[in-house]
Chain A
Amino acid sequence: MRNACTRAGVDSITQLAPGTRVSCTFAGAPTEGTYITDRDGKAVIKLDNGYNIGVEPASLAFLSKGEPSPPFRADVAQNPQLPELSIISTGGTIASRVDYRTGAVTSQFTAEDILGAIPGLADIARFRAEVLASILSENMTAGIWKDLARAVYRDIRNGVEGVIVTHGTDTMAYSAAAVSFMLETPVPVIFVGSQRSADRPSSDNVMNGLCSAAAATSDLGEVAMVMHASTNDDACAIHRGTRVRKMHTSRRDAFRSFGMAPLGTVQYPSLDVSLSGEAKRRRDDEPVLHGTLEEKVGLLTFYPGMDPALLFAYERCRGLVISGTGLGHISAEMIAGIRRLTDAGTTVVMTSQCLNGRVCDRVYDTGRDLLAAGIIEGEEMLPEVAYVKLMWVLGQTDDTEEIRRMMETPLRGEFGRCSAHGL
């Protein structure tokens, strides 16, 4: 079989701008198409039937310059009678668009585009919108957490009924915890994302977006996350920002509450919100911002055979959260290293890889030795939540006793005094 395209004159892909009309003689028949991009040395052209194929760049011939496609803008009419919400966008799948140059899904929508992308939002509230960041959530930083808490605080001060934060799902739980600690809020602050990109008809972005708006106008008064409750499009769960964790790489219902039932649900498509007795209710008081974080904090997962020398890496940290085994253990040979850290003034908090249940270092020898070495039991806290809380606590005080007291006290519902049964 011969080479698909016979050579016809374009010497280098770099001569072609995306959108250029090109021809290519394919299997003896002339074929026309639109140049899209180059991919692994081949020129990708879109044929007039909509299919893309990759061909030898040298086989293409220039036909005409492409028409620049008009920028797509959604006109969203705002209803002044409705309550005002703020949407703060940080990026993520809920606001993603396919980059047809690279073929990758990227987050580059403005917050207004979200209104266009989720028909129905404009029936629930009027919106002010801000793009705080346009990042994939694995690139999230403590610096952005601080900016985010300040932006949410400012909007609440300015009188919005609630705030929606759109976020990539990978680290959304960390950010929800961070804002939970930095901000005492009288109104709902709702984190929302989507697990299936917005460019597909089956995306969960519309339902999650509408449910988040319903939650943001509800009677809730704390930081929460609203995501699919099951694989069905029937309801979203409202999770407390300090009790939620991503538990699946790809399913819509990846987020689960730990140590407590979700705070409530939003039914779909009715958007009826129901809240449990545990959910803090909306209040009239002013928000309070405690917007500092200590960034020199680490989170370390213990595993059998771990080299105690790895602990040296944390000597410069003011805090370290360990995700230990079972009730909160690490190997006996690491305990000397822990003592060295605590002696040098590093706060060490123990949590469990079990995720479910409470840390108790008084049952076995290793645990008792860890307590003697100065660790703080992280109670029921998820390791990531303990990590974020420790950053925040260390940002609030230098006093060793006060640090311990704050870590051992539930401040934002991050753990309970009693471990719930029946979950």
Chain B
Amino acid sequence: MDYEELGLKAGIEIHQQLDTREKLFCHCPTVLRDVEERNGEFFRYLRATVSEMGEIDRAAREEMMVMRPFTYYAYDTTCLVENDEEPPAPLNPEALELALTMARMMGMTPVEQVHVMRKLVIDGSNTSGFQRTALVALNGMLPLGARIESLCLEEEAAQRVEGVTFSLDRLGIPLVEITTAPDMHTPEQVQEVAAYIGMLLRSTGRVKRGLGTIRQDVNISIREGARVEIKGVQDLALIDEVVRREASRQVNLIGIRDELLARNASIDELTHDVTALFSETGSAILKRAKYIGAVCLRGFAGCVGREIQPGRRLGSELSDYAKKCGVGGLFHTDELPAYGVTQEEVETLKSALGAGEEDCVILVADAKKKAVCAIGQVQRRAAIALEGVPEETRKMLEEGSTAYMRPLPGAARMYPETDVLPETVSSSYVAALEVPELLTEKEDRFIREMDLDPALARQLAYSAQVGLFEEVVRAGVRPNLAARTILATLRELSRDGVPVEAIGEEDLLGVLLEVERGAVAKEAIPDILRALAGGMDMPSAVQSVAPGISDEELTGIIRAVLSERVDFVKEQGMRSVGPVMGVVMQEVRGRADGKKISDLLKKEIQAML
């Protein structure tokens, strides 16, 4: 696809959880829990409220079409603030400091007085019915040339467990929302900018890591299309695919529009009760239904079933809208006969609605109120198909296609959080913030100054243990030893089920310094770490695993080994060093350095020859 010709415009919003000690508006820890650990549970309803402008937000109104009781799980690490049973604490100063640091890294201008707002969200993911958010800085620029429009500090929403059940452990974890200008014009650019911002945020060393801790929303439009916001792209590797599929969806919707207009397509206003037509049907869903509503979309035949992106048809869009009324889905005649509905039933249905070859009939089976509501939604979405692409908030499905979530929210969803006082940000405070080294700079420095292999340097710079690595190197451990121990040895031990997190950083440093001093052989490192993880202290661990071995003792061991292999050594000469070395190492078991053993062994063999 020629994205330039399509007029592709894309921007991203990056949501990154911050690794602060406390949550954004309460003093609870920012830890995630297993739902099995919950110690409380309650349920609530949410209602859209009128904004300060006297309007109800369109996205909120749609969420309200079905009143659902939302269930929440509480833990011994959550409090009444998450339960929406207590006013919020003041804005977490640690989170504000970190957000301002990030703003500085992107050359942004901080807001002089930060005001916390309430952003209406009534899908249940916030117990209050709003997400607290504050605009912290504006207008920055990345080296890649992408403009950053804004940086907001927000509270994370509750995690959906399933359906309308949410877990409160995540609610209130601070996150930054970074919004770029819609400056990107190809799927690859979008991915590049997202990756760069992710790297920049991780350079602070104070962001959460792991799946779900960073999420990208992508805003996409093409020239004849509309702005669509795709929520929750968790996998960076999928971003370009999401952009490609959305561009193609918009192109196909525009194609369908042109075809519908050419056919002079229209939407019937009347909803038909066709329940009786299916009283003897072989379709279990229809036979069971209390009520079946139908509407005819004139001139839509073939378009409803047409694929607009992998796995998605115009019919899927109609179905997403219908589901807002609480129905499970719909049938359309482009896909019938199927699902137990016969050709004969389709013909009876079509003739009942006066539908011809060019027309498509939509069926919804449910309680009458829900089904009638759903048919109304189908009519609304079908009418939009005659105009082209609707502005929407969509959610990402597996593989990168998307489904409709709700209309794009309007400005009516934002109003002041009156329970939190504004924070003044002085320029001297911002100027005093320490700007961390970028991970890319770190990677270069590791190669340049420590002579590390480029792949290893990169792996280290982006690893969670980079701080430990630098500390160990600063203390005098050779970078290669430090890197190997931290990246390889610790991971291997962990894979073997050794609780390496129990090893204190000081102990780890202590072991490495002993190795550098020559007091401990580096071959003994894994066993010493194993002992430390098991709760032993440093001196005992070293003593038990690798008690120091004197040169005399070592020489004695070597001579004993050689005395059993006199013929072999005499026959092989210096070539026997390798095989014999292995035997000696096994005897010594890490109590002496390999190089020292090898030197002594060579000397003894030479003496024998």
- Residues on A facing B (Cβ under 8 Å): 1-5, 26-29, 31, 39-40, 42, 44, 47-56, 69-70, 72, 98, 100, 103-105, 195-196, 198-203, 206-207, 230-234, 249-252, 269
Contacts and interface: CB of A to CB of B under 8 A. Distances in A.
B492 to A, nearest CB: 46
Contacts of A2: 109, 427
Given A39-B422, A44-B113, A52-B115, A72 B43 contact: no
Interface string B424-437: 10010011000000
Given A52-B115, A54-B111, A233-B44, 7 more contacts: A2-B109, A27-B138, A51-B115, A51-B134, A98-B416, A249-B86, A250-B85
13 contacts: A1-B431, A27-B138, A44-B422, A52-B117, A52-B135, A53-B112, A55-B111, A55-B113, A69-B54, A195-B85, A203-B47, A250-B86, A269-B67
Contacts of A27: 108-109, 138-139
Interface in B81-107: 83-87, 104
Contacts of B139: 26-29
B84 A56 contact: no
A201 B115 contact: no
Contacts of A56: 112
Given A55-B112, A69-B54, A196-B84, A202 B127 contact: yes
Contacts of B413: 50
A1 B138 CA distance: 12
B424 to A, nearest CB: 7
Interface in B407-426: 411, 413-416, 418, 422, 424
Q: List the 4 closest A-B pairs by CB distance, nearest first.
A: A201-B129, A54-B113, A50-B414, A27-B109
Interface in B15-58: 42-50, 52-54
A200 B43 contact: no
Contacts of A1: 104, 109-110, 427, 430-431
Q: Size range of the interface on B?
A: 35 or more
Nearest to A31: B138
A50 B411 contact: yes
A233 B50 contact: no
A50 to B, nearest CB: 3
B44 A51 contact: no
Given A1-B109, A39-B113, A98-B416, A54 B46 contact: no
A412 to B, nearest CB: 31
A98 B49 CA distance: 12
A195 B53 CA distance: 24
A200 B87 CA distance: 12
Contacts of A251: 80, 85-86
B54 A70 contact: yes
A243 to B, nearest CB: 24
| From B45, B54, B112, B127, residue with most partner A Cβ within 10 Å | B112
Contacts of A231: 42, 83, 85
A100 B112 CA distance: 20
B313 interface: no
Interface string B384-413: 000000000000000000000000000101
A200 B128 contact: yes
B158 interface: no
A3 B111 CA distance: 10
Nearest to B430: A1
**Interface SS, A side:** loop
A103 B130 CA distance: 17
Contacts of B114: 53-54
Given A98-B416, A202-B129, A40 B113 contact: yes
Contacts of A233: 43-45, 69
Contacts of A230: 42
Given A42-B113, A250-B85, A52 B416 contact: yes
A51 B152 contact: yes
B208 interface: no
Nearest to A55: B112
Given A1-B104, A42-B112, A200-B118, A69 B53 contact: yes
Contact of A53 (B129, B135, B415): B135
Contacts of B108: 27
Contacts of B104: 1
Contacts of B230: none
A42 B425 CA distance: 12
A310 B574 CA distance: 104
B60 to A, nearest CB: 8
Given A98-B415, A98-B418, A199 B112 contact: no
B151 to A, nearest CB: 11
Nearest to A99: B418
B49 to A, nearest CB: 5
Interface string B548-569: 0000000000000000000000
B129 to A, nearest CB: 2
A53 B69 CA distance: 35
A53 B111 contact: yes
Contact of A26 (B46, B109, B411): B109
Nearest to A50: B414
Nearest to B418: A103
A104 B418 contact: yes
Nearest to B149: A49
Contacts of B110: 1, 4
Contacts of A50: 117, 119, 411, 413-414
B26 to A, nearest CB: 12
| From A40, A70, A201, A233, residue with most partner B Cβ within 10 Å | A201
B355 interface: no
Contacts of A104: 418
